[in-house]
Amino acid sequence: MPFTIIRQDITKLRVDAIVNAANTALKMGSGVCGAIFRAAGAKKLQAVCDQLAPIRTGGAAVTPGFRLHAKYVIHAVGPVYDDQAEAQCRLGLHSAYQEALRLAWNHECGSIAFPLISSGIYGYPKDKALNVATEAIREFLDSHDMDIYLVVFDNSAFRTSRMLLGEVASYIDETYVRTRREERRQLLDVEEAALYSDKGPNLSVLPPVPMMAAAPQQSLDTLIDRLDEPFSAVLLKLIDRKGKTDAEVYKRANIDRKLFSKIRTGKGYTPKKATILALAIALELSLSETDDLLERAGYALSHASKFDVIVEFFIIKGNYNIFEINEVLFQYDQPLLGGQGECPRKILSC
């Protein structure tokens, strides 16, 4: 699960490193910074920080995690936001993420959790801070493998364009909401017929069930020989047909290399639906190609699922930016695309 957005208490995550949105003096502050110091043990953590201070804006320093579940705390200093020097602020914030990730990699961390740096008392607009965080993390993941979590408290940072959100909302209303209404209306028709019939339920209101022709008897060997190609074989053909490399696909799908290797080799393994849809996005498949890929694994898109409807909308629009799709899914409290559901790992403390 390379990049996952979560709502959690960062001090309780079971990761190799958590990032503290620090000040240049590395002094215990308020908010998330204060919570990290208290959870780690403020006296011991401050003593180590005093030996490392000061650090520059855009820089980072690493200390032990002490009482935290995380082995390390990486203290990254973002800029105080100034709209008159926005370009400089962006560079400073981008550097803070880069330096934190560099330190985590040098300390052989396999996982790291960030708060939204500078978005608190430093006044960086949350949507702009999220944009910088996403850009820096994506750049790092282009050449490194690491589980990265961005911990947010609410949806306020996800200010996707009003036009896009309006289009998504309209599509949901036209498909998901209409489907639900039709299902309820059909159920009410059946209930009403049963309620007002003296002879019990009136089953004539139900649509007729088509009679299936009896299939000719075939041997089991014949049936198996005629099975469609397995999911892994179809995936590899699609990768070749689209002219993409394996690394390009799994990175654009927001899944890690080990999971992709497991999917690629097949051997009876079937990935979860969200992972298959992430691969479809990475391959920039059409809706019909996506339907076929899902069918190979025994899945299908459904207009009774808000998650499916949102992903379908982006595919129809030809928007294959998985991070933008995940922002919209997050706002609708839906699962995110990628491999985060494939390899369950306890990242929360008990």
Q: Residue range 20-47: average pLDDT?
A: 95
pLDDT digits (tens, 9 = 90+) for 75-97: 999 999 999 999 999 999 999 99
On whether the CB atoms of residues 160 and 126 are closer than 8 A, the answer is no
pLDDT at position 160: 52
Nearest to 49 by CA among 75, 30, 77: 75
Query: pLDDT category, 159, cuts 50, 70, 90?
Result: low
The answer for residues whose C-beta is within 8 angstroms of residue 329's C-beta and 6 or more apart is 307, 310, 311, 335, 336, 337
At residue 192, what are phi and psi to the nearest 5 degrees?
A: -65, -40
Is the pLDDT score of 220 beyond 80?
A: no
Rounded Cα distance between 147 and 192, Å, is 53
pTM: 0.73
pLDDT digits (tens, 9 = 90+) for 199-214: 554 544 444 444 444 4
Q: Residue range 270-284: average pLDDT?
A: 92
What region does 108 belong to: left with phi over 0, alpha with psi -120 to 50, or beta? Answer: left
On whether the CB atoms of residues 157 and 116 are closer than 8 A, the answer is yes
Beta bridge partners of 111: 147
Is the pLDDT score of 294 beyond 70?
A: yes
User: How confident is the prediction for the chain on average, in pLDDT?
Assistant: 82
Q: Which stretch of 81-95, 156-170, 184-198 has the lowest confidence by average pLDDT?
A: 184-198
Is the pLDDT score of 217 beyond 80?
A: no
On whether the CB atoms of residues 55 and 24 are closer than 8 A, the answer is yes
Rounded Cα distance between 299 and 264, Å, is 18
The larger pLDDT score, comparing residue 42 to residue 226, is at: 42
On whether the CB atoms of residues 261 and 343 are closer than 8 A, the answer is no
pLDDT at position 36: 96
Is the pLDDT score of 350 beyond 70?
A: no
pLDDT at position 10: 94
Is the pLDDT score of 218 beyond 70?
A: no
Is the pLDDT score of 117 beyond 80?
A: yes
Is the pLDDT score of 328 beyond 90?
A: no
The larger pLDDT score, comparing residue 194 to residue 151, is at: 151
Beta bridge partners of 75: 20, 61
On whether the CB atoms of residues 97 and 132 are closer than 8 A, the answer is yes
Is the pLDDT score of 344 beyond 60?
A: no
User: Cis omega before residue 216 (within 30°)?
Assistant: no
On whether the CB atoms of residues 80 and 92 are closer than 8 A, the answer is no
Please report the domains of the chain, with CATH numbers, ordered by start residue: 3-157 (3.40.220.10), 160-179+228-345 (no CATH)
On whether the CB atoms of residues 20 and 60 are closer than 8 A, the answer is no
